[in-house]
């Protein structure tokens, strides 16, 4: 058996693991590369191999850095099934179509921009089209949590709750080769335990080979209580003290819904008086509707909070914005709003308009509530940029920037080590993936020192690893 990490090795985007074994080959995830000028080139080169050799795809969850190249995979000729949980299938019906729409619009903008500058024309075709995304949805096959599925080639797989976003899964993959069965466990993205909305990640007890994410492998998150303290202070200071707006870039899937519940809980507890919250993201609106539909995946605390929200709509006023005109009208509101908008790393979508109109105002605050990949606008804000470019316009950064890492949907180093401790014995080999180099190396070192496991391998992109 061989593993090849085609993405999310030395970085946090482009997740794609190829597994070759005696019975064939399959992929785990097929994600977009995001952030930085090289992302488009990487995405266009990512699937440069014989797709006919791939028997099936297993998908851990719906975030685009894990799923966003599926339409291109199908458009290039892949005809096999893609297995995912039912909630992930539902989410992809929204997310892949939205991603394709953005691909088409950005290709149109790039073409117009090139014509205006009379610059040398590069490939202006979208990475994939809306129609190609729609076609790829037909390849999806829903699988329940804890149900053993048989995708083919002597492979058995169980999707287990990863507690990261709605429908997220870690995978237990049993592969039969030459009379022996070996278990490959792929963590996907693991959630931080005791967080609102979703249940905690399921523990596993055995793995012959393990791929573990390391997004926050070099740090511990601020406690959830301290995170709520900081969020409450930022909101109260901005809305009451300065009369400005609070703008929160948030991933449409997971982070937006979690923020809504956290803010509502702060109002319920009397720590914030009343709130006017606007969610300006059609995709986030659709995902929130799906989250309400999949309430069987919630934890008990979230059920109780949702009942309070329905009974106290006058204290927590929530509005979902759909059309462009209504979104544009928000730019004329000078204060009193909490605006939650996508994308979470500030590189696309409506959030860029809200940043354009609020970043330069000292009375406003920007709350960064999620991981910001290198090369993104969000990362530049976190790193203290005094000026940024948005739609070709230089915008001074005068608003307060609050980085609230405790809301991350990814497990931190203590939580990752705690999850690994449930294995009865060390895997034969552990691969550290989905982390920038410093974070991945730190987690590998912590696993070796704290768990006394054989030194893990920090996965390198494109390198083929032979498993004994």
Residue 231 has pLDDT above 70, yes or no: yes
Domain boundaries, the chain: 2-219+409-466, 224-407
Q: Of 363, 283, 360, 367, whose CA–CA distance to 327 is shortest?
A: 283
Give the relative orientation of helices 224-236 and 255-268 as an angle to the nearest 10 degrees. 80
Angle, vertex CA 431, rays to CA 345 and CA 59, nearest 5: 55
CA distance 188 to 214: 10
Instruction: Give the CA diameter of the chain.
Output: 69
Cα 228 to the center of its chain, rounded Å: 21
Per cent of the chain over pLDDT 90 is 82
117 pLDDT above the threshold of 60: no
CA distances from 397 to 57, 110, 208, 365 (A): 43, 26, 50, 10
Distance from C-alpha of 443 to C-alpha of 420, rounded to nearest angstrom:
11
Residue with tokens 């593993």: 3
H or E element in which residue 104 lies: helix 86-117
| Assessment of whether the complete model's pTM goes beyond 0.85 | yes
Is the pLDDT score of 264 beyond 70? yes
List the single range of 19-33, 161-175, 393-407, 428-442 with lowest mean pLDDT: 393-407
> Is pLDDT at 183 greater than 60 in this prediction?
yes
Which two structure tokens, joined as six digits, stand for 211?
A: 């791929």
So what's the pLDDT on residue 178? 80
Instruction: Determine the 3-state secondary structure of 155 from DSSP.
Output: strand
CA distance 64 to 72: 13
Q: What three-state secondary structure class fits 424? A: coil
Nearest alpha carbon to residue 353 among 364, 365, 339, 363: 339
C-alpha to C-alpha distance for 363 and 45, rounded to whole angstroms: 44
Its CATH architecture, for the domain 224-407, is 3-Layer(aba) Sandwich (3.40)
**Domain 2-219+409-466: top CATH class:** alpha beta
Task: Give yes or no for residue 371 having a pLDDT over 70.
Answer: yes
Copy the structure tokens of residue 56.
């099936």
pLDDT of residue 356: 96
Please report the sign of the dihedral spanned by the C-alpha atoms of residue 280, residue 286, residue 289, residue 295: negative
- 181 C-beta neighbours (distance < 10 Å), count: 11
Using alpha carbons only, give the angle 246, 251, 253 rounded to the nearest 5 degrees.
Answer: 130
Residue 333, exposed/middle/buried by CB under 10 A (0-12, 13-18, 19+)?
middle
Q: What are the pLDDT digits (tens) for 45-95?
A: 999 999 999 999 999 999 999 999 999 999 999 999 999 999 999 999 999
User: Of 370 and 123, which is predicted with more confidence?
Assistant: 370
- Write the CB contacts of 379 (distance below 8 Å, at least 6 apart in sequence): 35, 345, 372, 373
The pLDDT of residue 112 is: 77
- Ranges of H-type helices in 118-177: 130-137
Q: Is the pLDDT of residue 343 over 80?
A: yes
Alpha-carbon distance of 30 to 70, in angstroms, equals 6
> Which pLDDT score, from 0 to 100, does residue 344 have?
87
* Separation CA 200–CA 163 (nearest Å): 5
Average pLDDT over residues 9-33: 96
Average pLDDT, the chain: 93
Supply the Cα-derived Rg of the chain in whole angstroms.
22
The predicted pLDDT at position 123 comes to 61
Q: State pLDDT tens for residues 408-446.
A: 789 999 999 999 999 999 999 999 999 999 999 999 999
Q: Which two tokens stand for residue 62?
A: 């719906």
Q: Calculate the CA 241 to chain-centre distance.
A: 33
Distances (CA, A) of 150 to 1, 116, 124, 446, 456: 18, 53, 40, 35, 29
Residue 452 pLDDT more than 90?
yes
Angle at which helices 413-420 and 437-451 cross, to 10°: 40
Give the Cα separation of 335 and 400 in Å (integer).
14
Q: In the chain, helix, strand, coil percent, each to 5?
A: 35, 25, 40
Residue 143 is predicted with a pLDDT of 98
Per-residue pLDDT, averaged over 319-345, amounts to 94
pLDDT of residue 114: 66
Residues 402 and 365 sit within 8 Å (Cβ to Cβ): yes
What does the pLDDT look like over 95-113, one tens digit per residue?
A: 999 899 888 988 887 777 7
Q: Of the ranges 105-109, 135-139, 162-166, 255-259, which one carries the lowest mean pLDDT score?
A: 105-109
């Amino acid at each position: 058996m061989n593993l090849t990490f085609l993405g999310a090795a030395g970085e946090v985007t482009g997740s794609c693991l190829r597994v070759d074994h005696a019975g064939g080959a399959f992929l785990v995830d097929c994600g977009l590369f995001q952030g930085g000028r090289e992302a488009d080139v990487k995405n266009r080169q990512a699937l440069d191999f014989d797709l006919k050799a791939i028997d099936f795809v297993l998908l851990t969850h719906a975030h685009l850095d894990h799923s966003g190249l599926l339409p291109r995979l199908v458009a290039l000729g892949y005809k096999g099934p893609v297995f995912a949980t039912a909630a992930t299938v539902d989410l992809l019906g929204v997310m892949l179509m939205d991603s394709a729409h953005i691909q088409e619009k950005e290709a149109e903008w790039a073409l117009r921009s090139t014509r205006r500058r009379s610059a040398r024309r590069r490939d202006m075709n979208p990475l994939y089209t809306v129609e190609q995304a729609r076609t790829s949805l037909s390849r999806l096959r829903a699988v329940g949590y804890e149900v053993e599925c048989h995708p083919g080639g002597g492979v058995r797989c169980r999707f287990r709750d990863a507690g990261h976003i709605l429908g997220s899964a870690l995978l237990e993959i049993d592969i039969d080769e030459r009379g022996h069965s070996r278990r490959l466990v792929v963590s996907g993205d693991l959630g931080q335990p005791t967080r609102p909305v979703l249940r905690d990640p399921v523990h596993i007890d055995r793995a012959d080979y393990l791929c573990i994410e390391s997004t926050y492998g070099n740090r511990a998150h601020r406690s959830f209580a301290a995170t709520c303290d900081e969020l409450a202070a930022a909101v109260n200071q901005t809305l009451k003290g300065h009369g400005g707006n609070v703008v929160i870039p948030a991933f449409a899937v997971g982070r937006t819904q979690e923020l809504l519940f956290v803010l509502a809980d702060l109002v319920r507890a009397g720590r914030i008086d009343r709130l006017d919250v606007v969610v300006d993201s059609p995709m986030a609106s659709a995902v929130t509707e799906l989250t309400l539909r999949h309430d069987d995946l919630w934890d008990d605390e979230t059920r109780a909070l949702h009942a309070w929200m329905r009974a106290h709509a006058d204290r927590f006023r929530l509005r979902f914005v759909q059309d462009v005109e209504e979104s544009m009208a928000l730019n004329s509101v000078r204060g009193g709003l909490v605006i939650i908008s996508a994308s979470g790393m500030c590189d696309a979508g409506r959030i860029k308009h809200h940043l354009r109109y609020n970043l330069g105002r000292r009375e406003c605050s920007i709350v960064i509530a999620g991981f910001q990949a290198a090369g993104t606008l969000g990362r530049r804000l976190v790193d203290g940029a005094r000026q940024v470019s948005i739609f070709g316009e230089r915008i001074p950064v005068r608003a307060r920037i609050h980085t609230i890492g405790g809301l991350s949907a990814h497990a931190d180093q203590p939580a990752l080590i705690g999850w690994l401790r449930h294995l009865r014995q060390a895997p034969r080999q552990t691969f550290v993936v989905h982390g920038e180099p410093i974070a991945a190396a730190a987690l590998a070192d912590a696993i070796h020192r704290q768990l006394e496991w054989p030194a893990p391998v920090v996965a390198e992109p494109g390198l083929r690893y032979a498993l004994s």
